[in-house]
């Protein structure tokens, strides 16, 4: 009886805006349930709704809200049709085409059968952006053929469907595609060492550009890419789809309202534990010296004899890749730059090595990097391993509280906070429980997400978010933002200035690792000092 009375008292406290409904209360409630099943679920759901009600009360007091993010206006079907050229139809190229509404019939088959992480209903309900894929370019013949079929799959059908009458033109070189008059804008999904040259070629031809991250392969070309894009006046978007993630948008609101106080330490991580996560991608059975234009693949990279491993697993070698810094650290950096407006750090140190995947790769599979922002009085710490799947998330630490950002945004008060000292003392705030939670689809207490997609990416907001009550691909939203800006001549969220900051920060981390020394940024002269 005593336990029941205490639980009742705590629940009354929560109705007054206190934060006394938590996991312990839920467990107590479930312990009194005589049978499992629907009744237990009902108790659990009521406890969660009570918790959300209490959190919403405190959120309102702090000036925050749990309302869903309002999506961009729907595309006007009478707007100008944008003709796109797609360069690269490997793993990411296929995903970008799908996010545009053009999936290869075999990919739709995988969605229908449940093999793909994308639910087929989500794909088919995706907004029509009023675009056409009119041109494709891939130096592997099989991918070139598939890209054409993808561009003609306007009805989003599987292998039993039919392709449209007009297939996109396949160009053998990216230069030809960028010069093609039937192309308004270009999407670049090539290896890292081609991002800079392709972006500049497209911009010089007056084509708007969506380029996958990172912006560049070398420091030197970063300056030139920025210059060419700005002089051309094209609309540029870097492929950091995290810019569309609701958790990050809400985290920015909370930070700007001073909810966690002065931030002094940030910790972000990347953990993976699979061959695919470590870039050991499958080698296509059609691939050979006859079906791949090897010289065009090499381009500005050091010459190497034909190698299927290098072609399909290029991320494993510095010759074509930017390693963990350019591939994964950039996602975490861009998220934090979006939230805190960090800019380029003053210095960087890195360490790590090839500690697990002894397959001839030259880029590390374990990396730690620390960036310093003395002008902001904070440190930014990143660590990664490609041989452990322990989930560690993102943490923004301030004097009055900290944010834990993963599948949801949770904000906790610090037990020694100045801002919340009185509320902690009188029991209104329990520092073991969050003072604010935002989960896309759970705003207002309504559970809008039920699919268990790839947890690693989902936890970082890199696959889906929720808009207008529907689960939506964040890449689709990021591409939509870019296409809307092409139509209106506005500046997208991850524009060339944001991209320049991303590139220089990643290069500093890489140079610190490769030179085994601290690297500095001269902000006045915009120069990296080794």
Q: Within a 10 A sphere around the Cβ of 387, how many other Cβ atoms?
A: 15
Q: What is the DSSP letter of 177?
A: H
Per-residue pLDDT at 106 exceeds 50:
yes
Mean pLDDT of the chain: 88
Is residue 470, in this structure, part of any structural domain at all? no
Q: Are 464 and 458 in contact (CB under 8 A)?
A: yes
pLDDT tens-digit map of 453-489: 334 444 444 577 877 777 889 999 999 999 999 999 9
- Using DSSP's 3-state secondary structure scheme, residue 411 falls into strand
Closest of 113, 189, 460, 510 to residue 350, by C-alpha: 510
Residue that finishes a domain, picked among 239, 260, 290: 239
- CATH assignment at residue 371: 3.30.360.10
Shared-domain flag, residues 144 and 24: no
- CATH assignment at residue 228: 3.40.50.720
Torsion sign, CA atoms 270, 271, 276, 280? positive
Better pLDDT: 453 or 29: 29
Q: Which two tokens stand for residue 511?
A: 């140079």
Shared-domain flag, residues 214 and 335: no
Region 59-68 average pLDDT? 77
Better pLDDT: 467 or 143: 143
Q: What is the three-state SS of 76-141? A: CCCCCCEEEEEECCCHHHHHHHHHHCCCCHHHHHHHHHCCCCCCHHHHHHCCCCCEEEEEEECCEH
- According to DSSP, the β-strands at 436-438 and 131-137 are unpaired
- Using DSSP's 3-state secondary structure scheme, residue 409 falls into strand
Shared-domain flag, residues 98 and 183: yes
Per-residue pLDDT at 212 exceeds 50:
yes
What pLDDT is stored for residue 464 in this prediction? 79
Share of the chain above pLDDT 90, in %: 74
Better pLDDT: 491 or 62: 491
Q: What is the DSSP letter of 359?
A: S
Shared-domain flag, residues 20 and 40: yes
Shared-domain flag, residues 425 and 278: yes
Per-residue pLDDT at 181 exceeds 50:
yes
Q: Are 342 and 255 in contact (CB under 8 A)?
A: no
What pLDDT is stored for residue 59 in this prediction? 73
Residue that finishes a domain, picked among 183, 205, 239: 239
Is residue 19, in this structure, part of any structural domain at all? yes
140 strand-pairing partners: 292
Region 258-266 average pLDDT? 97
433 strand-pairing partners: none
- According to DSSP, the β-strands at 263-271 and 378-385 are parallel
What pLDDT is stored for residue 51 in this prediction? 62
Shared-domain flag, residues 220 and 250: no
What pLDDT is stored for residue 37 in this prediction? 59
Rounded Cα distance, 36 and 102, in Å: 45
Better pLDDT: 304 or 44: 304
Is residue 270, in this structure, part of any structural domain at all? yes
Q: Within a 10 A sphere around the Cβ of 407, how many other Cβ atoms?
A: 16
pLDDT band at 11 (very low <50, low <70, confident <90, very high): very low
Rounded Cα distance, 258 and 413, in Å: 12
Share of the chain above pLDDT 70, in %: 85
Is residue 427, in this structure, part of any structural domain at all? yes
Per-residue pLDDT at 12 exceeds 50:
no
Shared-domain flag, residues 10 and 98: no
Q: What is the DSSP letter of 529?
A: E
What pLDDT is stored for residue 54 in this prediction? 64
Shared-domain flag, residues 396 and 516: yes
Least confident of 48-57, 257-266, 399-408: 48-57
Contacts of 388 (CB under 8 A, 6+ apart): 271, 273
Shared-domain flag, residues 268 and 198: no
Residue that finishes a domain, picked among 181, 213, 239: 239
Q: Could you list the residue range(s) of the whole structural domain that residue 132 is in? A: 82-239
Shared-domain flag, residues 166 and 51: no
pLDDT band at 65 (very low <50, low <70, confident <90, very high): confident
Report the helix count and the strand count for the chain, using DSSP H and E: 19, 18
Contacts of 45 (CB under 8 A, 6+ apart): none
Shared-domain flag, residues 192 and 221: yes
Rounded Cα distance, 232 and 487, in Å: 16
Is residue 366, in this structure, part of any structural domain at all? yes
Rounded Cα distance, 338 and 406, in Å: 15
Per-residue pLDDT at 408 exceeds 70:
yes
Is residue 358, in this structure, part of any structural domain at all? yes
Region 230-252 average pLDDT? 95
What pLDDT is stored for residue 39 in this prediction? 64
Q: What is 271-321 written as a DSSP string?
A: E--STTTTT-PPPPTT-STTTB-HHHHHTTSPP----HHHHHSGGGSTTT-
pLDDT tens-digit map of 495-516: 999 999 999 999 999 999 999 9
Is residue 419, in this structure, part of any structural domain at all? yes
Output the CA torsion 107→112→114→118 (10° steps): 60
Per-residue pLDDT at 30 exceeds 70:
no
Closest of 265, 505, 240 to residue 394, by C-alpha: 265
Q: Are 303 and 417 in contact (CB under 8 A)?
A: no
Shared-domain flag, residues 441 and 503: yes
Bond preceding residue 89 cis, omega within 30 of 0:
no
75 CB burial (10 A radius; 0-12, 13-18, 19+):
middle
Q: What are phi and psi of 346, to 5 degrees?
A: -80, -30
Q: How many domains does the chain have?
A: 3
Region 283-301 average pLDDT? 98
Is residue 252, in this structure, part of any structural domain at all? yes
Per-residue pLDDT at 208 exceeds 70:
yes
**Which pTM does this prediction carry?**
0.87
């Amino acid at each position: 009886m005593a336990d029941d009375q205490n639980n009742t008292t705590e629940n009354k406290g929560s109705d007054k805006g206190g934060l006394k409904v938590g996991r312990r209360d839920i467990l107590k409630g479930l312990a009194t349930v005589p049978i499992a099943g629907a009744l237990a679920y009902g108790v659990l759901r009521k406890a969660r709704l009570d918790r959300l009600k209490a959190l919403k009360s405190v959120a309102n007091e702090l000036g925050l809200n749990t309302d869903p993010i309002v999506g961009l206006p729907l595309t006007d079907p009478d707007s100008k049709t944008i003709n796109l050229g797609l360069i690269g139809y490997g793993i990411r190229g296929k995903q970008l085409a799908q996010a545009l509404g053009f999936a290869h019939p075999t990919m739709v088959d995988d969605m229908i059968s449940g093999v793909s992480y994308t639910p087929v209903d989500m794909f088919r309900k995706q907004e029509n952006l009023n675009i056409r894929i009119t041109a494709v370019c891939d130096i592997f013949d099989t991918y070139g053929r598939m890209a054409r079929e993808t561009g003609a799959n306007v009805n989003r059908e599987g292998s039993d469907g039919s392709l449209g009458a007009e297939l996109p033109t396949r160009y053998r070189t990216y230069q030809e595609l960028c010069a093609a008059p039937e192309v308004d804008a270009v999407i670049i999904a090539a290896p890292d060492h081609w991002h800079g040259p392709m972006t500049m070629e497209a911009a010089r031809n007056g084509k708007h550009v969506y380029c996958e991250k990172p912006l560049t392969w070398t420091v030197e070309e970063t300056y030139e890419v920025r210059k060419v894009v700005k002089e051309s006046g094209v609309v540029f978007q870097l492929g950091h789809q995290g810019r569309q993630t609701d958790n990050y948008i809400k985290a920015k609101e909370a930070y700007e309202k001073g909810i966690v106080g002065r931030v002094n330490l940030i910790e972000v991580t990347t953990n993976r534990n699979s061959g695919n996560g470590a870039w050991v991608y499958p080698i296509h059975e059609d691939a050979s010296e006859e079906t791949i234009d090897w010289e065009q693949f090499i381009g500005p990279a050091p010459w190497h004899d034909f190698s299927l491993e290098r072609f399909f697993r290029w991320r494993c070698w510095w010759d074509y890749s930017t390693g963990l810094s350019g591939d994964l650290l950039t996602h975490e950096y861009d998220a934090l730059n979006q939230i805190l407006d960090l800019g380029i750090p003053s210095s960087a140190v890195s360490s790590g090595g090839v500690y697990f995947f002894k397959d001839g790769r030259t880029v590390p599979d374990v990396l730690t990097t620390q960036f310093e922002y003395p002008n902001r009085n904070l440190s930014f710490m990143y660590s990664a391993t490609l041989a452990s799947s322990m989930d560690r998330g993102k943490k923004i630490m301030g004097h009055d509280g900290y944010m834990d950002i993963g599948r949801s945004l949770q904000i906790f008060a610090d037990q020694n906070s100045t801002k919340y000292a009185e509320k902690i003392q009188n029991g209104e705030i329990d520092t073991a429980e969050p003072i604010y939670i935002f989960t896309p689809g759970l705003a207002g207490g309504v559970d809008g997400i039920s699919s268990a997609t790839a947890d690693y990416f989902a936890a970082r907001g890199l696959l889906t978010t929720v808009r207008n009550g529907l689960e939506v691909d964040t890449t689709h939203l990021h591409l939509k933002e870019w296409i809307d800006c092409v139509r209106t001549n506005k500046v997208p969220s991850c524009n060339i200035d944001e991209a320049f900051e991303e590139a220089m920060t990643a290069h500093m981390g890489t140079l610190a690792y490769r030179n085994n020394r601290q690297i500095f940024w001269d902000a006045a002269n915009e120069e990296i000092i080794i």
